[in-house]
Homo-oligomer: A and B are copies of this chain.
C-alpha cells in the first residue's frame, strides 16, 4: 500500500471535485470461480477500489457519504473457521486504518445503509460493473434490473479526472513494472529460435514476472502470426524466416501495469523485406513519439503515425499516391486497423471499465465509432501533463481483409493489391512503449528496451 495520507488525500480530492450529492458506492472484486466455487482465479482487486482504499481483499465494498462526510468500508472479519483454514491475518480493521478509514461495518450492513438512504430518496452513485458477481450484487442492493443500470456520470468524470493524472509514486510503480517487463522481453528474444513453441516463451516470461511477485498485466500475445491483432493462440512452433511478435507486460503487486511490444526475427537477422517494413513501423513510432506533449490531441498523434506509415508503405510499393490523402481516405487501415495507443496505469487499458467516452474522449470531441480504423482508437483527447499512455504503431497483413477489400476494389487508388497479396502471410509488426506526458514533451518510462534493427540483431548475435 501507499501511505495512509495518499488514500485520505485521494478521497478528499474526489469529495471536493465531484459535482454531486448523495453516496458514492465502490464495489470491490471477488475471487471468480474457475470450474467450481472453491477453485478461484488469482484475486485482482477492482482498480478504482485500489486507488481510493488500497486494500487487496475479496468481498469488500465502501461508501463515501458526500452529505454526511463519512467513509465506511463494509466487509467481514475472519471467522475462527476461516482462521483455521487460511491462517490469522491482519484484520480488516487494521487494513482500513492503513487506508485512513476509521469506520468498518459488516458486509451485510451495506444493504441496510443503502436501503435507508434510498428510502429518503438520496442519490446512490455507482460505476459500471464489469464482473457478473457485482452486477448481481448491485441489482440486489439497488433493486434495479441488471439491464437498467445507470452508472453515475459525475462520479465517473471526477474519478477519471483524478486517476488520469498520475502521481510520482504511481510513475515509480509503472517503471517498476517496466523494469520486470524488459527482462521478460529480453528473455523472449533470447528464446526465439526455430523449433521453440510459442507457449514455452509465454510460460518463461510469466515466470520472469512471477519471480518478481508480479502477475502478467494481460494475456501475453507471443505469436509468429503477428498479423492477428489479439492472438492468444500459442501452439505454433517458431520457424526460420518468420517474425515473432511479443506483446506482454506485467503488473506490480500494487496493481500497476506495463505494456510493451517488440517484433523480431526468429532467425538471428531480419530478411530485407522484414527490415524494410520494420523500419516503416519504427519511423512511425519515432514520429509519433516526437509529437507527444501536453496540449496535443492524441488523435492527431495517431494520424501523424498513420501518415508516416503510409509514406513508408508508398516508398516500398505497397501503397501509392499521396500519404496524406491516403490517410484522409482511411486507406492505411488496410495495414493499420487499430489505434495508436491508450491510457495506462492501474489497468493496462486504464479505466476502460469506466467508459472510453470519458477516459479517451470528451463530450465536445467524441469518438468516431463508425469508421473502420479510427473507431478502434481508445484515446483521442487532448493530452495533459501526468497522462501515461502507450504508443504502438504497427503494420498487419490480414489475409481475409486483403481478399475482401481487393474483391471490392476498396481504396484501389491507394493500394497496390498485387504487391500486398504477396505479403498476405507475412504476419505483423508492432513496436510499443510507454510514456509520461510532460508540459513540454514526454518522458520515456522504464529502462530503454532495444528497438532498432541493429540493436536487435546485435543482441541476437551475442545471446
Contacts and interface: CB of A to CB of B under 8 A. Distances in A.
Interface of A: 29, 32-42, 44, 46-47, 80, 83-89, 130-133, 135-136, 146, 197, 199-200, 202-204, 206-207, 209-211, 213, 218-219, 225, 227-235, 337, 346-349, 352-353, 398-401, 404
Contacts of A36: 130, 347, 349, 352-353
Contacts of A41: 32, 34, 41-42
Contact of A230 (B86, B230, B398): B86
Contact of A233 (B87, B210, B401): B87
Contact of A84 (B46, B131, B234, B400): B400
8 shortest interchain CB distances as A-B pairs:
A203-B210, A132-B132, A87-B228, A207-B207, A36-B353, A36-B352, A132-B133, A41-B41
Contacts of A85: 228-230
Given A131-B33, A207-B207, A400 B88 contact: yes
Q: Counting chain B CB atoms within 10 Å of each CB, which of A29, A84, A199, A230 scores highest?
A: A84
Contacts of A35: 29, 44, 46-47, 130, 346-347, 353
Given A36-B347, A87-B231, 5 more contacts: A37-B352, A38-B349, A85-B230, A132-B133, A206-B206
A36 to B, nearest CB: 4
Contacts of A219: 40, 42
Given A32-B32, A44-B34, A353-B35, A199 B203 contact: no
A243 to B, nearest CB: 15
Contacts of A84: 229, 337, 398, 400-401
Given A85-B229, A229-B85, A349-B36, A210 B206 contact: yes
Contacts of A83: 398, 400
Contacts of A40: 219
Contacts of A146: 136
A138 to B, nearest CB: 12
A151 to B, nearest CB: 14
Contacts of A230: 85-86
Nearest to A213: B199
Nearest to A347: B35
A134 to B, nearest CB: 8
Nearest to A223: B87
Given A36-B130, A44-B34, A130-B37, A207 B203 contact: yes
A374 B98 CA distance: 39
A59 to B, nearest CB: 13
A46 B37 CA distance: 12
A346 B232 CA distance: 23
Contacts of A218: 39
Contacts of A209: 203
A420 to B, nearest CB: 15
Contacts of A89: 233
14 contacts: A33-B130, A35-B46, A36-B130, A36-B352, A37-B130, A37-B352, A39-B347, A39-B349, A80-B404, A86-B230, A87-B225, A87-B227, A136-B136, A199-B213
Contacts of A44: 34-35
Contacts of A88: 399-400
Contacts of A32: 32, 41, 131-132
Contacts of A203: 206-207, 209-211
Nearest to A44: B34
A399 B349 CA distance: 44
A373 B85 CA distance: 12
Contact of A86 (B29, B210, B228, B401): B228
Contacts of A234: 213
A213 B228 contact: no
Nearest to A78: B400
Contacts of A37: 130, 352-353
A157 B346 CA distance: 45
